[in-house]
Chain A
Amino acid sequence: SQTIHQWPATLVQPVGSPLSLECTVEGTSNPNLYWYRQAAGRGLQLLFYSVGIGQISSEVPQNLSASRPQDRQFILSSKKLLLSDSGFYLCAWSVSRGPWAGELFFGEGSRLTVL
Protein backbone atom coordinates (compact mmCIF):
# COMPACT_ATOMS: atom_id res chain seq x y z
CA SER A 1 0.00 0.00 0.00
CA GLN A 2 1.01 3.58 -0.50
CA THR A 3 2.11 5.85 2.31
CA ILE A 4 3.20 9.45 2.52
CA HIS A 5 5.47 10.86 5.16
CA GLN A 6 6.06 14.51 5.90
CA TRP A 7 8.39 16.15 8.39
CA PRO A 8 8.99 17.91 10.61
CA ALA A 9 5.52 17.92 12.16
CA THR A 10 6.01 21.18 14.01
CA LEU A 11 8.56 23.94 13.85
CA VAL A 12 9.00 27.42 15.16
CA GLN A 13 11.34 29.63 13.20
CA PRO A 14 12.45 33.25 13.48
CA VAL A 15 11.78 35.70 10.70
CA GLY A 16 14.56 35.61 8.15
CA SER A 17 15.62 32.04 8.86
CA PRO A 18 15.61 29.29 6.21
CA LEU A 19 13.05 26.55 5.88
CA SER A 20 13.09 23.00 4.62
CA LEU A 21 10.09 20.68 4.71
CA GLU A 22 10.39 17.23 3.27
CA CYS A 23 7.86 14.77 1.95
CA THR A 24 8.33 11.23 0.68
CA VAL A 25 5.89 8.78 -0.84
CA GLU A 26 6.25 5.02 -0.70
CA GLY A 27 4.55 2.24 -2.61
CA THR A 28 3.97 4.02 -5.90
CA SER A 29 6.01 5.36 -8.76
CA ASN A 30 5.82 8.57 -10.77
CA PRO A 31 3.21 10.20 -8.55
CA ASN A 32 2.04 13.76 -8.94
CA LEU A 33 3.17 15.68 -5.87
CA TYR A 34 1.72 18.79 -4.29
CA TRP A 35 2.46 21.33 -1.59
CA TYR A 36 -0.49 23.14 -0.04
CA ARG A 37 -0.67 25.75 2.69
CA GLN A 38 -3.57 26.29 5.04
CA ALA A 39 -3.76 29.42 7.16
CA ALA A 40 -5.50 29.07 10.52
CA GLY A 41 -9.21 28.45 10.05
CA ARG A 42 -8.97 28.82 6.31
CA GLY A 43 -9.08 26.74 3.16
CA LEU A 44 -6.32 25.22 1.09
CA GLN A 45 -3.95 27.15 -1.11
CA LEU A 46 -1.96 25.23 -3.71
CA LEU A 47 1.66 26.34 -3.66
CA PHE A 48 3.47 23.93 -5.98
CA TYR A 49 2.86 20.77 -7.90
CA SER A 50 5.13 18.41 -9.75
CA VAL A 51 4.46 15.80 -12.42
CA GLY A 52 8.00 14.44 -12.48
CA ILE A 53 11.58 14.78 -11.28
CA GLY A 54 12.78 18.33 -11.64
CA GLN A 55 9.38 19.50 -12.96
CA ILE A 56 7.86 22.10 -10.65
CA SER A 57 4.90 24.37 -11.29
CA SER A 58 4.35 27.32 -9.02
CA GLU A 59 0.83 28.52 -8.39
CA VAL A 60 1.51 31.46 -6.13
CA PRO A 61 4.49 33.84 -6.32
CA GLN A 62 6.17 34.03 -2.93
CA ASN A 63 9.48 33.51 -1.22
CA LEU A 64 9.03 29.74 -1.18
CA SER A 65 10.47 27.24 -3.61
CA ALA A 66 10.04 23.54 -4.21
CA SER A 67 12.25 20.82 -5.56
CA ARG A 68 11.81 17.21 -6.56
CA PRO A 69 15.24 15.61 -6.54
CA GLN A 70 13.87 12.06 -6.68
CA ASP A 71 10.70 10.51 -8.02
CA ARG A 72 9.03 10.20 -4.63
CA GLN A 73 10.62 13.10 -2.76
CA PHE A 74 9.28 16.62 -2.62
CA ILE A 75 10.92 19.45 -0.71
CA LEU A 76 9.59 22.87 0.20
CA SER A 77 12.17 25.52 0.99
CA SER A 78 12.66 29.14 1.80
CA LYS A 79 15.83 31.16 2.15
CA LYS A 80 14.26 33.77 4.41
CA LEU A 81 10.97 33.24 6.18
CA LEU A 82 8.36 35.96 6.58
CA LEU A 83 5.73 36.24 9.28
CA SER A 84 3.12 35.57 6.62
CA ASP A 85 4.65 32.16 5.93
CA SER A 86 3.15 30.79 9.13
CA GLY A 87 0.59 28.09 8.52
CA PHE A 88 -0.10 24.42 8.14
CA TYR A 89 1.77 22.92 5.21
CA LEU A 90 0.44 19.81 3.59
CA CYS A 91 2.13 17.54 1.11
CA ALA A 92 -0.06 15.35 -1.06
CA TRP A 93 0.27 12.85 -3.86
CA SER A 94 -1.96 11.44 -6.57
CA VAL A 95 -1.59 8.87 -9.29
CA SER A 96 -0.55 10.52 -12.52
CA ARG A 97 -3.03 8.93 -14.89
CA GLY A 98 -6.12 6.77 -15.08
CA PRO A 99 -9.60 7.08 -13.60
CA TRP A 100 -8.24 7.66 -10.09
CA ALA A 101 -5.92 10.47 -11.08
CA GLY A 102 -6.89 13.60 -9.21
CA GLU A 103 -7.72 12.07 -5.85
CA LEU A 104 -5.21 13.46 -3.39
CA PHE A 105 -3.70 11.66 -0.43
CA PHE A 106 -2.27 13.93 2.20
CA GLY A 107 0.66 13.71 4.57
CA GLU A 108 0.29 14.46 8.24
CA GLY A 109 1.13 18.12 7.79
CA SER A 110 3.81 20.48 9.11
CA ARG A 111 2.77 23.32 11.34
CA LEU A 112 5.08 26.30 10.89
CA THR A 113 5.10 29.29 13.20
CA VAL A 114 7.30 32.21 12.21
CA LEU A 115 8.06 34.63 15.04
Chain B
Amino acid sequence: ELKVEQNPLFLSMQEGKNYTIYCNYSTTSDRLYWYRQDPGKSLESLFVLLSNGAVKQEGRLMASLDTKARLSTLHITAAVHDLSATYFCAVDDSNYQLIWGAGTKLIIKP
Protein backbone atom coordinates (compact mmCIF):
# COMPACT_ATOMS: atom_id res chain seq x y z
CA GLU B 1 0.00 0.00 0.00
CA LEU B 2 1.36 3.37 -1.00
CA LYS B 3 1.82 5.80 1.88
CA VAL B 4 2.91 9.40 1.69
CA GLU B 5 4.54 11.28 4.55
CA GLN B 6 5.19 14.97 4.65
CA ASN B 7 7.35 16.78 7.11
CA PRO B 8 7.22 19.02 8.83
CA LEU B 9 3.47 19.26 9.29
CA PHE B 10 3.77 22.77 10.60
CA LEU B 11 6.39 25.35 9.86
CA SER B 12 6.67 28.90 11.08
CA MET B 13 9.45 30.92 9.57
CA GLN B 14 10.66 34.45 9.08
CA GLU B 15 10.50 36.31 5.81
CA GLY B 16 13.72 36.13 3.87
CA LYS B 17 14.68 32.66 5.13
CA ASN B 18 15.03 29.47 3.15
CA TYR B 19 13.41 26.21 4.02
CA THR B 20 12.50 22.81 2.62
CA ILE B 21 9.40 20.65 2.91
CA TYR B 22 9.92 16.92 2.44
CA CYS B 23 7.61 14.35 0.93
CA ASN B 24 8.50 10.67 1.32
CA TYR B 25 6.52 7.85 -0.17
CA SER B 26 6.63 4.13 0.42
CA THR B 27 6.43 2.37 -2.95
CA THR B 28 7.61 2.97 -6.48
CA SER B 29 6.03 5.86 -8.33
CA ASP B 30 7.30 8.33 -10.89
CA ARG B 31 4.48 10.85 -10.71
CA LEU B 32 4.32 13.35 -7.91
CA TYR B 33 2.32 16.53 -7.50
CA TRP B 34 2.49 19.56 -5.25
CA TYR B 35 -0.56 21.63 -4.39
CA ARG B 36 -1.16 24.80 -2.45
CA GLN B 37 -4.22 25.55 -0.34
CA ASP B 38 -4.96 28.97 1.11
CA PRO B 39 -7.12 29.06 4.24
CA GLY B 40 -10.76 28.37 3.41
CA LYS B 41 -9.98 27.90 -0.26
CA SER B 42 -9.62 25.08 -2.71
CA LEU B 43 -6.40 23.46 -3.90
CA GLU B 44 -4.23 24.86 -6.64
CA SER B 45 -1.79 22.76 -8.62
CA LEU B 46 1.77 23.98 -8.24
CA PHE B 47 4.07 21.39 -9.78
CA VAL B 48 3.85 18.14 -11.68
CA LEU B 49 6.96 15.96 -11.46
CA LEU B 50 6.90 13.06 -13.88
CA SER B 51 10.35 11.52 -13.84
CA ASN B 52 13.38 10.88 -11.72
CA GLY B 53 15.48 14.00 -11.37
CA ALA B 54 12.66 16.30 -12.43
CA VAL B 55 13.03 19.83 -11.15
CA LYS B 56 10.44 22.56 -11.53
CA GLN B 57 10.66 26.16 -10.38
CA GLU B 58 8.10 28.91 -10.05
CA GLY B 59 9.19 32.11 -8.40
CA ARG B 60 10.53 31.36 -4.93
CA LEU B 61 9.39 27.74 -5.00
CA MET B 62 11.35 24.85 -6.43
CA ALA B 63 10.28 21.21 -6.43
CA SER B 64 12.37 18.16 -7.18
CA LEU B 65 11.83 14.43 -7.39
CA ASP B 66 14.17 11.57 -6.61
CA THR B 67 12.29 8.37 -7.44
CA LYS B 68 15.12 6.15 -6.24
CA ALA B 69 15.01 7.70 -2.79
CA ARG B 70 11.21 8.03 -3.04
CA LEU B 71 11.57 11.62 -2.00
CA SER B 72 10.38 14.96 -3.25
CA THR B 73 11.33 18.32 -1.84
CA LEU B 74 9.67 21.70 -2.05
CA HIS B 75 12.25 24.38 -1.43
CA ILE B 76 11.31 27.91 -0.50
CA THR B 77 13.85 30.61 -1.18
CA ALA B 78 13.77 33.96 0.61
CA ALA B 79 10.25 33.39 1.88
CA VAL B 80 7.64 36.12 1.67
CA HIS B 81 4.37 36.41 3.56
CA ASP B 82 2.31 35.62 0.43
CA LEU B 83 3.66 32.09 0.47
CA SER B 84 1.84 31.35 3.72
CA ALA B 85 -0.48 28.42 2.94
CA THR B 86 -0.80 24.69 3.38
CA TYR B 87 1.21 22.65 0.90
CA PHE B 88 0.26 19.11 -0.05
CA CYS B 89 2.20 16.54 -1.97
CA ALA B 90 0.40 13.69 -3.70
CA VAL B 91 1.77 10.58 -5.35
CA ASP B 92 0.21 8.64 -8.20
CA ASP B 93 -0.42 5.02 -7.23
CA SER B 94 0.15 3.94 -10.88
CA ASN B 95 -3.59 3.75 -11.42
CA TYR B 96 -4.07 7.52 -11.72
CA GLN B 97 -5.29 7.69 -8.14
CA LEU B 98 -3.47 10.15 -5.92
CA ILE B 99 -2.31 9.28 -2.42
CA TRP B 100 -2.05 12.46 -0.40
CA GLY B 101 0.31 13.66 2.26
CA ALA B 102 -1.18 15.23 5.38
CA GLY B 103 -0.12 18.72 4.33
CA THR B 104 2.42 21.20 5.66
CA LYS B 105 0.99 24.37 7.13
CA LEU B 106 3.46 27.14 6.42
CA ILE B 107 3.30 30.46 8.23
CA ILE B 108 5.71 33.17 7.17
CA LYS B 109 6.09 36.03 9.56
CA PRO B 110 7.14 39.51 8.48
Contact = CB atoms under 8 A, between A and B. Distances in A.
User: Chain A's interface: helix, strand, loop or mixed, by majority?
Assistant: loop
B12 interface: no
A53 interface: no
A105 interface: yes
Contact of A105 (B45, B97, B98, B101): B45
B88 A102 contact: no
Interface residues of B, number: 20
Interface residues of A, number: 22
Given A102-B33, A103-B33, A103-B48, A44 B100 contact: yes
Nearest to B29: A102
Nearest to A43: B102
B78 interface: no
A42 B50 CA distance: 26
Contact of B98 (A42, A99, A102): A102
List the 9 shortest-distance A-B pairs measured between CB atoms, nearest first: A109-B42, A106-B42, A102-B92, A106-B43, A43-B102, A102-B96, A44-B100, A101-B96, A103-B48
